[in-house]
Amino acid sequence: MSDPMNRPAEPRPAPPPSDRPPSDQPPPGERKSASPLLWLLLLIALLAVGWYFYSQRGAVDPPAEPADPVGEPADIGDGTPPPPASEREQAARPADPAPAPAPAITRPADPLERVEPEYPAAALRAQEEGTVLLRVQVDAGGNPGAIEIARSSRSRELDRAARTAVGQWRFSPAMENGQPVASTVEVPIDFRMDTQ
């Protein structure tokens, strides 16, 4: 029997022939690099994933406000105790809208009782006519005060008769914000002979 250890070494079989030409195969110990198309596809995939996560970032709901603690609140921080619960509830409720104020009444003084002036005899004889415009100061009680001639009729007699008559009038006083106030009003007095 022959010893298997003492057998002569058989030659190694040759590597199988390759389909590729020897220039396409990398030298032993070097890695083959991926094609540029593969790198471009990988970059596009990364951009798509990044865009997806970026667009989802805005859809995240903000965290909810913490609920009020149960029980009595702690001190305010300056040693002041918290207000009673009834005051806290009242402060939390919106205030009822105040009722709208009544519209302010504002109007000028207005004659209530008129005394018609007497046509002066001297003016009748001289056939004088005209209109006297008087500026009358009316107090808050509606009584006439100072009376000035704002525009004369060009007859001293007619001007005097108009002042005398208006001095006896009663006025409704001027109103501001619903309160009677003193004011000044202008009053025209006409003297026409055809009305006599």
Percent of the chain at pLDDT exceeding 90: 42
Q: Are 96 and 165 in contact (CB under 8 A)?
A: no
Burial class (CB in 10 A: 0-12, 13-18, 19+), 149: middle
The alpha carbon dihedral of 101, 102, 106, 109 has a sign of negative
**For residue range 164-175, what is the model confidence (pLDDT) as tens digits?**
999 999 999 999
Q: If one looks up domain 110-195 in CATH, what number appears?
A: 3.30.2420.10
In the chain, domain spans: 110-195
pTM of the full structure: 0.47
